[in-house]
Amino acid sequence: MKTQQFRDLVVWPRAMELAKDIYGVARNFPRTEVFGLTSQLCRSAVSIPSNIAEGHGRLSDKVFAVFLGQTRGSLYELETQLELAHSLGYVEQNAYNRLVANTAEIGRMLNGLLSKLREASR
């Protein structure tokens, strides 16, 4: 990867913003969900920028691609948890729409980055 720092990747700050947004929404969940859905949702959200950063810090693009695959898995996990939280009435429709749109955008960015890594390894 040509970037020197993971912070230089466009997807990383977007993932950080998503994580902060998730924490903001999860703050309003019922106290009974503190050790359940709230915790899971926040862990998934934190995992996204964390895996991008950790993977970028590895010594090869091939390993970075593996971490990006894990990142995409965390993103899908987050989307599933958001859908459940929404269906339980914990996330309002406008917030849900905004968060799902953000996850979709980050997913496209991850796919683009994975494509670049694959092209570079050919």
CATH 1.20.140.10, domain 6-120, yes or no: no
Is the pLDDT at 14 greater than 70, yes or no?
yes
Q: Token pair for residue 77?
A: 């996990």
Cα separation of 72 and 95, whole Å?
Answer: 21
pLDDT tens-digit map of 24-38: 999 999 999 999 999
pLDDT tens-digit map of 48-63: 999 999 999 998 999 9
Percent share of the chain, pLDDT over 90: 89
pTM, to two decimals: 0.93
Burial of 93 (0-12, 13-18, 19+ CB in 10 A): exposed
pLDDT at 2: 65
pLDDT band at 122 (very low <50, low <70, confident <90, very high): confident
